[in-house]
Every structure is written in structure tokens, then in C-alpha cells.
Amino acid sequence: QKYGYYHCKACNIRWESAYVWCVQGTNKVYFRQYCRTCQKSYNPYRVEDITCQSCKQTRCTCPVKMRHVDPKRPHRQDLCGRCKGKRLSCDSTFSFKYII
């Protein structure tokens, strides 16, 4: 699981997501995300590891792991290529091996 930056060329809308699924050890994206306006699917133009905001490390031992994501913001299952049309969404089905 990685963090991605998206840009819809049709609508000129930009968004970010902490639900970018890549081949392990690479930045090769498995699933596209859909633009909320025009519903066209895109790969992120930039992908990075999800890092701790306290120590800036990917895997850390900080007691509180601050992220550059809002954990209270709901995952848009209707815009996610991985869980669109499925009963469960990415935020409820990801494996514990992805927790940093």
C-alpha cells in the first residue's frame, strides 16, 4: 500500500490517495482510481511510501504514527479500482502486513 497523486486530464482535477496498491517492492500500480467528476480511470502520476510524520521513516517504532492522511475520511469505494463493485472496501479488507 502506497500514497499516490492523481490528475484527471479531462477535468483538470487533482486528488491524493493512501489506497494505492503496488507490486511488492515496486511502484508498479495494480489498480486505477476513477475521477469523481467524469469517471475516467487513472494511474497516479507519482507514488511514494506512506511515511510517519514524526520521524519521516516508512517503518518506525514511534508510539503514535502520524500520517499525511486523514483516517476519519471515508474511503470512496465507488472510485477505487480495487474495491469498486465489491461488498467490502480496501480500508476494511487490507492485510496487517501493510500496516507500517
Confidence bin at 9 (pLDDT 50/70/90): very high
**Residue 15 resides in a domain:** yes
Confidence bin at 99 (pLDDT 50/70/90): very low
The pTM of this model reads 0.69
Range of the domain at 68: 1-86
| Cell digits of residue 15 | 486528488
Instruction: Give the contacts of 70 (CB within 8 A, at least 6 positions apart).
Output: none
The structural domain count of the chain equals 1
Confidence bin at 98 (pLDDT 50/70/90): very low
**Residue 10 resides in a domain:** yes
Q: What are the helix (H) ranges across the chain?
A: 90-93
Beta bridge mates, 79: none
Beta bridge mates, 51: none
**Residue 59 resides in a domain:** yes
**Residue 78 resides in a domain:** yes
What pLDDT, on the 0 to 100 scale, is given for residue 41? 92
